[in-house]
Amino acid sequence: MARITMRQAITDALREEMNRDEAVFIMGEEVGMWGGTYAVTRGFYDEFGDKRIKDTPISEMVIGGAAVGAAMNGLRPVAEFMTINFAFLALDAIVNHAAKIHYMFGGQFKCPVVFRAPGGGGRQLGATHSHTPDVIFAYFPGLVVVSPGTPYDAKGLLKAAIRSDDPVLFIEHATLYQLRGEVPEGEDYTVPFGVSEVKRPGSDVTIVTYAQGLQISLEAAERLAQDGIEAEVVDLRTLRPLDMGPVLDSFKKTFKAVIVEEGWRSYGIGAEIAARLQEEAFDYLDAPIRRVAQQEALLPYSRELEQMALINVDQVVKAVKEIV
């Protein structure tokens, strides 16, 4: 096993899939000679050339539309949006075309496109560049939505996304690029969509989370363990398809749940998880389901104020102790 950053895991996945399949190409703003906003594709332009590494105009609708057209005609584009906030400009291409083409044409066309997009707050990028709109995209059937919380999952899920015949939105939390974790060295592996995973076993409370929330939840679980509370942490990994199996299994063992997400509380991923727990495991409910989410406000530019608005370890610990 090699211990690498999430940035390196994503870079390795892209390089391996481009070497494996000549139909894979990358397009987006500054992905070529500049190497991408977060340096994920640095060196790719010299390695693969301008036919497979394409800098695009500053137009997300062009990126989305061209990627969909290329995918319909037999290529496997990986289209990068500089941030997920800019994906709003390509919403029609993503949810009204990519997600629906296979259905609208009765299976005659496929759309094997991957949309990569950094998301989330915590980098002082201001209110218009710090969204966590994952639930908006996960709302639409036909679109796979992935948001990994470890380098291992990032590499495996991205390789699975590139090989998939379905359109995939691959969300990379902007604060996780430097996160290090173990990844198999020299092994060609994928991580399947729609498979949640227990990242830490426990018996007293279930913490359900994903992406940046996973790292916060794992740290909170270690702190809770010092007080004799063993939290089981379940990582969703993909938001559509959503795998509730491990969540329900854990909840039926602990009888209590805290859901941790960086998005806003209202109408969020946490609301969906809470509703399903109530519908599918009501008889196991021993305490109110708690949700830890971002403050319902636009993220400030000030680092101190931004951190006050985002989720943190203390909030998770507090939520757990309220119900245990």
Cα dist from 50 to 28, 43, 71, 73, 136, whole Å: 12, 12, 18, 19, 33
Q: What tokens were used for 162?
A: 């590139």
Name, in order, each residue with C-beta under 8 angstroms of 74's C-beta and a sequence gap of 6 or more. Answer: 23
Active site residue 102: no
Active-site position among 17, 29, 60, 261 = 60
Q: Choose, from 29, 97, 102, 129, the residue flagged as catalytic.
A: 129
Is there a contact between 166 and 194 (Cβ–Cβ < 8 Å)?
no
State the Cα–Cα distance between residues 101 and 89, nearest whole angstrom. 19
32, 213 in Cβ contact below 8 A? Answer: no
Taking each continuous run of H as one helix and of E as one strand, the counts in the chain are 12, 14
Local structure of 171: helix, strand or coil: strand
Q: Which two tokens stand for residue 128?
A: 């218009």
* Tokens encoding 245: 């199996």
Contacts 24+ apart (CB under 8 A), 35-38: 36/80, 37/82, 37/83, 37/118, 38/7, 38/118, 38/172, 38/174, 38/177
Residue 262 falls in the annotated catalytic set: no
Radius of gyration in angstroms for the set of CA atoms belonging to the chain, rounded to a whole number:
19
Cα four-point dihedral sign 27, 31, 32, 35:
negative
CA distance 219 to 225: 10
Residues tagged active-site: 60, 129
